[in-house]
Chain A
Amino acid sequence: MAGSVDKPSYELFSKDTRAFVYGMQTKAVQGMLDFDYMCGRTVPSVAAIIYTFGSQSISKLYWGTKEILLPVYRTIEEACTKHPEVDVVVNFASSRSAYASTMELMEFPQIRCIAIIAEGVPERRAREILVTSKEKNVVIIGPATVGGIKPGCFKIGNTGGMMDNIVASKLYRPGSVAYVSKSGGMSNELNNIISHTTDGVYEGIAIGGDRYPGTTFIDHLIRFEADPACKLMVLLGEVGGVEEYRVIEAVKNGTIKKPIVAWAIGTCSSMFKTEVQFGHAGSFANSELETAVAKNQAMREAGIYVPETFEKLPALLQEVYEGLVKKGVIVPQPEVAPPNIPLDYAWAKELGLVRKPSSFICTISNDRGSELTYNNVPISKVFEEELGIGGVISLLWLRRRLPSYATKFLEMVLQLTADHGPCVSGAMNTIITTRAGKDLISSLVAGLLTIGTRFGGALDGAAQEFSKAYDAGLSPRAFVDSCRKANKLIPGIGHRIKSRNNPDLRVELVKGYVKKNFPSTKLLDYALAVENVTTSKKDNLILNVDGCIAVCFVDLLRNCGAFTLEEANEYINLGILNGMFVLGRSIGLIGHHLDQKRLRAPLYRHPWDDFLYLS
C-alpha cells in the first residue's frame, strides 16, 4: 500500500502524487503530463487511465519530446491492484455515471481524493457521495468543476488551461497564496490575478458550481491553514448557499488565523426585479442570507479582507501580500525558468505556426462544417430545392449545378439502364452468386464485374467514337466506311432483335425527350444520319439505347452552357458514362439479389449437357 499514513492530512497533492484518470480523456491527460514535465517531476502524475468501454489496453502520450505508454484498465479493481501507490482520481464520468463510479472508487481504501468533473449530477446522488466520502475520509472535489491545481506538484484535468497560460501565470512553481473558488472558469482568472500581485499560487481548488459540492470552502481553507507553506488565502464565493458563513464562523472562533482575501460574486442579484438563476445550479439565493451582498458584508465584519468591488480585489490582495513580505512571513524565492514543452502538432497548426502538405485532396464534398455540403451546396438546400438524384450526381460527379432538364435526363439514364432482365451476364452473375449464399455486396459486385467493353461498356466507346468522327468533320458515310475498313464495329449501333420497323421504345423515349428539351442535338442528329447509312445495309443496325444515351450525353455536356468543350471531353474520357451505367444497373442487380433471396433459390449447378466436354 502507498504511504497514505505518512502523508499529512492537509496535503492532497505532492510532487510524487500518482493518479488515475477515469474516462478516455487523452487531451486532459496530455495536459497533466505536460504540466508535470514543466514542473520538473521525474514520474508522470497519471499512472493509468480507467475506461470501462472498449478494449484498448494502452494509450500513447508524450512525456516532453518522448512518447510513453500509459496502461488503460477496464475495471477500477484492476487499476487499483496494479497501482497501489495511486491515491487520487480525476473522474471524467458523465453526469449519469459519475455517482456509480465515484461510489465504487470509494470502496478502495487507497483512494484519498476524487475530483468529479461532470455537471448535472442529481442533487440526491451528490449528497449521498458526500456523506459516504465523510465516512471514508475521502476528499471529493466537485461535481461540476474543472478541478484544481497545485503548482510544482499536480494539476487536475484541464485546470489552468493550456501550457502558455501555465507559463504566464507561473503555475509550474509554488508561491505562497492558496485559493478556493466556486467557479472553475474564475479559478483561472484567480491564477492570473495572484501571479501578478503576489509570489504566486500555492494551491487552488474549484469546488464546483452545484448546490451540494463534496467539499466546500471551509474544508480546503482548514487544510491551507494547517499547511505551513501556505501564507495567505483567497476565497471566491458566490450568491446562493451558506458555505461562506462556515468560513466566517471559523475565522471568528480562531480556527482560521491566516489572512483571507475574499469576495462573493453575484452582488447584482439584489438589484434585479425578478429572480434570476445564474449559470451555476447553486447560484440562487433562497433567502437574504444567501445573497452576495449579505455574504460580503458578513465576511468584512468578521475581519476577512473584502474589497469594495471585485475589480478592486487585485489591489487589496497585493497590499495584504506586501504586508506579509514586510513582516518576513513570506520570503519571495528567486525565479527559475521552466523547461520548454514542445508544441503538439495539432495545436501548433491551430496557432498557425506550422504547415504540412496534405496527402489527399477532395473537391466534391465537405463534412466538417455544421452541415454536410455537396460541392458547396448544403444538404438542406439539396432538399429545399428538390435537386433529386440527378442534381446530386451533377454536384458530386460534374461539380456544378445543372439546369433541371439536364438533371432529369441523368435520372432518365439511370431509369433506362436500371435493368435488362435476368439473362444478361451481369444479372446472371448476381443471381448465381446470390444462390451460392453470398451476401448483398458480394452478389452485387459479382454482377458489376462483368461490365466492360462487351457488356454495358458500349456507352463510353460510342460517345468517344461518334464525337471523334464528328469533330474530325467526317461525313456519316465516311465514318461508316472508315470503320468498315478498320474492321471495327461501331459501338452503339446494332440490336439483336430491334430494327427500323420494330424500334426500341427506350430509344424513342430518349430521342423524344432530348429533341424537346436540349438546346442542341448535333451529335444525336449526326448519329441518326449514321444510323441511316447502316440500316440501309442491314435493318437491325439501328442506333441502340446505349449509343443513343451516349451521344445525347455528349450533346448535353457540350451545349448546356456549364462546360467548355475541353471539360466536356474530359468528363467523357474519365468514364462518366460507364459510371452512369454502373450506378443504374446496380439498382437492377440489387433487385435480382433480393428477388433470389426472397424466393429462397437454392445453390445453382449448371447441367452437364450444356457443356461440351473435350477432355
Chain B
Amino acid sequence: MSAKSIREYDGKAVLAYWLNRSPSISKEEYKTVSATPAVQLAQIQFPLPTLVIPAESTTYREVVEDVFAKVEQEHPWVKETKLVAKPDQLIKRRGKSGLLKLNATWDEAKEWIRERAGKNQKVQHAVGYLTTFLVEPFVPHPPNTEYYININSVREGDWILFCNEGGVDVGDVDAKARKLLVPVRLSEFPSRATIASTLLSDIPVEQHESLVDFIIRLYSVYVDCQFTYLEINPLVVIPTAKGADVFYLDLAAKLDQTAEFECGAKWAVARAPESLGIKTSGEESGAINADHGPPMVFPAPFGRELSKEEAYVQGLDAKTGASLKLTILNAEGRVWNLVAGGGASVVYADAVAVNGAADELANYGEYSGAPTDGQTYEYAKTVLDLMTRGEPRADGKVLFIGGGIANFTSPAVTFRAIARALGDYKDKLHAHKVSIWVRRAGPNYQEGLRVIREAGKKFDLPLKVYGPECHISGIVPMGLGKAPVEAEWQMA
C-alpha cells in the first residue's frame, strides 16, 4: 500500500465530481463561478485476449462490437460530437507514440479503437495489451490557450507548478514552470495575491481571477481526495466575457492508497454512474459495494498487468495485517527468492544482482508481519508452482528461502508451512533440479531450521541450512557458485 497511479478516466471523474464540492482550502472567497460542463467521459474496456480467444478471433471481435453498442447506449453523446480517443493504461507520452486520435467522429473513433483493441503495443521498453480506452469530447482551441499544471507532494508540502506553455511539446517544465510550495499546514495556505504573483506572472491579468479560482479548487480536491501527484497537460484556458473556461485535456494522477479508509467513499461516489451521467439500463443489479459507487481501481503499470499468481498474492495481502508481496520479473529466470521481510527481500535481490544473476532473477517478493501458517503455505505454493513450470533447464534452478533475524515473526511457524509446500512440490522440484538454500533467524528459529532441514531429508531435496552465524544474504553467492560452500548450521 502506497501512492499508486490511477487511470485518466478515474482522475477526471474525481475532479469533475469534487471540483465544486471539496471545501475550499483558501480563507478567501472564490471570485468566479466554476462553469464546468456536464461530465462526458466514456471508459471502454475490453477483456484481455487469451490463447483460447485471441484478439484476431471472431469471438473477440464480436465482444468488441458488443462493448461499442453498450457505450452508445450509456453515452448517447458520443454520436453527437467530435471526439478524442486514447488508451487509458498509465502510458506516458501517448501523443508521441501515436496513441491519440483527435477530432474524430464516433465511427472514426470506433475504427481507430477497433484496430488496437486487444493488440500488443510497445511503449518504450514495455509491451502490453491495449484493453482500456477513454473517449471524450474534442475541445477545439487555439494553441496559445494551452497551459501546464502539476501538483506533487514532498516532505515539506505540496509543490504547485504552473507553466504558460503546455501540450505534448512542453519540454523541461522543471526549468520553465513557475513554482509555489504549499506548506503541509493548510492554515498557512498562500493568499490569492501570492498565487497570482508567483504562478501567473506570465498570464494576462484579466484571466487571473478565474485561474486562481481554478488552482484553489484543484488544490482543494487534491487535499480532500488525498492525491499525491496530479498533472494536467494541456490545461486549456479559453477567455470568455466572464473570465475564462477551463478544460483539462490530459491528466495523470496518483492517489494515496493508504487513505482509502478516509477517502474511499469520495473516490467511489465520483465514479458512480449517476455522477458520470451514465444512462444505465436500470435492471443491472451487481454486487453491493462498500461505498456508493465502485471502489477505486489501481491498475498495474503498462505492460506489467498482474499475472494470475500476482493477483492471487495481492488478494491474500489485502485480507491480512501481515504483508505478502510478489512481482514476477522474469518467469523464465532460474533464481527464485522466497524471502521474509521488506528490507531483507531487497537485500536478497541486490545480492543476486551483485553476483551476476540480475537477468536470471525471476521474482521480487516478501512475506512479513507474522503471516499465519495458511497464508505462508499459500504464498510458498504460489512461488514453487511458478518456478517449476515449463521445460526443466539443463542448468537447474536455485531457490533462496531467506530472511533476516525476525523481531516477532516466528520462523518455526512460517517454515512449517514452507516445508509442507516443499512436500507438495517435491516431484516438480526434482524434475527442475532445484537447489534450495535456507538462511533465517528470529524467535524459535532453531525449530524452524530443524523443520525445513527435516523436510529436505524427507523429500530428498538438495537443501542447505544456515542461521544467524551466516551473513543475511550469505547463501546467495554460495547458491550461485560464486563463493565456497560453508559449513551448515548445527542445532546447539
On whether the two chains bind one another, the answer is: yes
Stretch of A64-72, A262-270, A502-510 with 4 or more beta carbons under 8 angstroms from chain B: A262-270
- List chain B residues, Cβ under 8 A from A238: 343, 346
Q: What are 27 A-to-B residue pairs whose CB atoms are below 8 Å?
A: A95-B258, A123-B3, A123-B228, A123-B259, A127-B155, A146-B408, A162-B444, A182-B343, A184-B343, A185-B342, A186-B341, A189-B404, A238-B346, A265-B350, A267-B350, A268-B352, A268-B358, A272-B358, A276-B364, A278-B349, A279-B325, A280-B342, A281-B3, A309-B351, A310-B347, A347-B444, A350-B444
Stretch of B98-106, B203-211, B239-247, B368-376 with 4 or more beta carbons under 8 angstroms from chain A: B368-376
Q: How far is the CA of A209 from the CA of B346 in the complex (A)?
A: 12
B114 lies within 8 A of chain A by Cβ: no
Interface residue tally on B, bucketed by range? 35 or more
- List chain B residues, Cβ under 8 A from A42: none
A352 lies within 8 A of chain B by Cβ: yes
Would B258 and A274 count as touching, CB distance under 8 A?
no
Q: How far is the CA of A239 from the CA of B349 in the complex (A)?
A: 12
A362: shortest Cβ distance to chain B, in Å? 20
B449: shortest Cβ distance to chain A, in Å? 13
Residue in chain B with minimal CB distance to A188: B405
Which residues in window 211-257 of B have CB below 8 A to A? Answer: 223, 226, 228, 256
B33 lies within 8 A of chain A by Cβ: no
Would A189 and B344 count as touching, CB distance under 8 A?
yes
Would B447 and A352 count as touching, CB distance under 8 A?
yes
Residue in chain A with minimal CB distance to B472: A189
B185 lies within 8 A of chain A by Cβ: yes
B329 lies within 8 A of chain A by Cβ: yes
Q: How far is the CA of A268 from the CA of B349 in the complex (A)?
A: 6
A183 lies within 8 A of chain B by Cβ: yes
B323 lies within 8 A of chain A by Cβ: yes
B442 lies within 8 A of chain A by Cβ: yes
A275 lies within 8 A of chain B by Cβ: yes
Q: How far is the CA of A72 from the CA of B405 in the complex (A)?
A: 32
Give 18 new A-B contacts, CB below 8 A, not counting A127-B153, A192-B405: A122-B259, A124-B223, A161-B408, A184-B343, A188-B405, A238-B346, A265-B343, A265-B346, A268-B346, A268-B354, A277-B327, A278-B345, A279-B323, A279-B325, A310-B472, A311-B351, A369-B373, A370-B372
Q: How far is the CA of A281 from the CA of B343 in the complex (A)?
A: 11
Q: What are the interface flags for B281-310 relative to A under an 8 Å C-beta threshold, 1 for contact and 0 otherwise?
A: 000000000000000000001011000000
- List chain B residues, Cβ under 8 A from A236: 343
- List chain A residues, Cβ under 8 A from B258: 95, 120-123, 281
A578 lies within 8 A of chain B by Cβ: no
Would A211 and B2 count as touching, CB distance under 8 A?
yes
B53 lies within 8 A of chain A by Cβ: no
- List chain B residues, Cβ under 8 A from A130: 155, 184
A438: shortest Cβ distance to chain B, in Å? 38
Q: How far is the CA of A131 from the CA of B406 in the complex (A)?
A: 32
Which A residues are closer than 8 A to B by beta carbons? 95-96, 119-125, 127-128, 130-131, 146, 158-162, 164-165, 168, 181-186, 188-189, 191-193, 209, 211-212, 236, 238-239, 265-268, 271-284, 292, 309-311, 314, 347, 350-352, 369-370
Would A268 and B361 count as touching, CB distance under 8 A?
yes
How many residue pairs, one in A and one in B, have C-beta atoms under 8 Å apart? 199
Other-chain residue from A192, A274, A282, A350 in contact with B301 (beta carbon distance below 8 A): A274
Would A279 and B346 count as touching, CB distance under 8 A?
yes
B25: shortest Cβ distance to chain A, in Å? 12
Residue in chain B with minimal CB distance to A371: B374
Would A274 and B304 count as touching, CB distance under 8 A?
yes
B315 lies within 8 A of chain A by Cβ: no
B226: shortest Cβ distance to chain A, in Å? 6
B444: shortest Cβ distance to chain A, in Å? 6
B468 lies within 8 A of chain A by Cβ: yes
Q: How far is the CA of A158 from the CA of B409 in the complex (A)?
A: 10
Q: How far is the CA of A183 from the CA of B259 in the complex (A)?
A: 22
- List chain B residues, Cβ under 8 A from A273: 125, 329
- List chain A residues, Cβ under 8 A from B361: 268
- List chain A residues, Cβ under 8 A from B352: 268
Most buried by B among A127, A191, A209, A279: A279
A154: shortest Cβ distance to chain B, in Å? 16
Other-chain residue from B153, B223, B406 in contact with A185 (beta carbon distance below 8 A): B406
Known contacts A131-B184, A268-B350, A311-B351, A186 near B343 by CB under 8 Å: yes
Interface residues of chain A: helix, strand, loop or mixed (majority): loop
Would A350 and B412 count as touching, CB distance under 8 A?
yes
- List chain A residues, Cβ under 8 A from B368: 185, 279
Would A123 and B256 count as touching, CB distance under 8 A?
yes
B1 lies within 8 A of chain A by Cβ: yes
- List chain A residues, Cβ under 8 A from B346: 238-239, 265-266, 268, 278-279, 283
B400: shortest Cβ distance to chain A, in Å? 14
Would A265 and B358 count as touching, CB distance under 8 A?
no
Would B408 and A158 count as touching, CB distance under 8 A?
yes
B443 lies within 8 A of chain A by Cβ: yes
Q: How far is the CA of A185 from the CA of B406 in the complex (A)?
A: 6
Q: How far is the CA of A272 from the CA of B283 in the complex (A)?
A: 48
Q: How far is the CA of A183 from the CA of B340 in the complex (A)?
A: 12
- List chain B residues, Cβ under 8 A from A122: 226, 256, 258-259, 262
Q: How far is the CA of A268 from the CA of B472 in the complex (A)?
A: 16
Q: How far is the CA of A351 from the CA of B352 in the complex (A)?
A: 33
B311 lies within 8 A of chain A by Cβ: no
- List chain A residues, Cβ under 8 A from B304: 274-275
- List chain B residues, Cβ under 8 A from A351: 444, 446-447
B88 lies within 8 A of chain A by Cβ: no
Would A185 and B404 count as touching, CB distance under 8 A?
yes
Which residues in window 248-275 of B have CB below 8 A to A? Answer: 256, 258-259, 261-262
Q: How far is the CA of A121 from the CA of B260 in the complex (A)?
A: 10
- List chain A residues, Cβ under 8 A from B403: 185
B126 lies within 8 A of chain A by Cβ: yes
B479 lies within 8 A of chain A by Cβ: no
B150: shortest Cβ distance to chain A, in Å? 13
Q: How far is the CA of A126 from the CA of B325 in the complex (A)?
A: 23
Would A311 and B323 count as touching, CB distance under 8 A?
no
Would A128 and B184 count as touching, CB distance under 8 A?
yes
- List chain A residues, Cβ under 8 A from B407: 146, 158-161, 184-185, 188
- List chain B residues, Cβ under 8 A from A239: 346
- List chain B residues, Cβ under 8 A from A164: 443
B136 lies within 8 A of chain A by Cβ: no
B344: shortest Cβ distance to chain A, in Å? 6
State the 10 A-B residue pairs at the shortest beta-carbon distance, nearest first. A183-B343, A279-B342, A281-B2, A370-B374, A185-B341, A268-B353, A186-B343, A122-B259, A271-B358, A189-B404
- List chain A residues, Cβ under 8 A from B259: 122-125
A246: shortest Cβ distance to chain B, in Å? 10
Which residues in window 351-394 of B have CB below 8 A to A? Answer: 351-354, 358, 361, 364, 366, 368-369, 372-374
Q: How far is the CA of A384 from the CA of B185 in the complex (A)?
A: 57
B173: shortest Cβ distance to chain A, in Å? 14
Would A267 and B342 count as touching, CB distance under 8 A?
no
Q: How far is the CA of A292 from the CA of B372 in the complex (A)?
A: 32
Would A185 and B185 count as touching, CB distance under 8 A?
no
B473 lies within 8 A of chain A by Cβ: yes
Residue in chain A with minimal CB distance to B476: A311
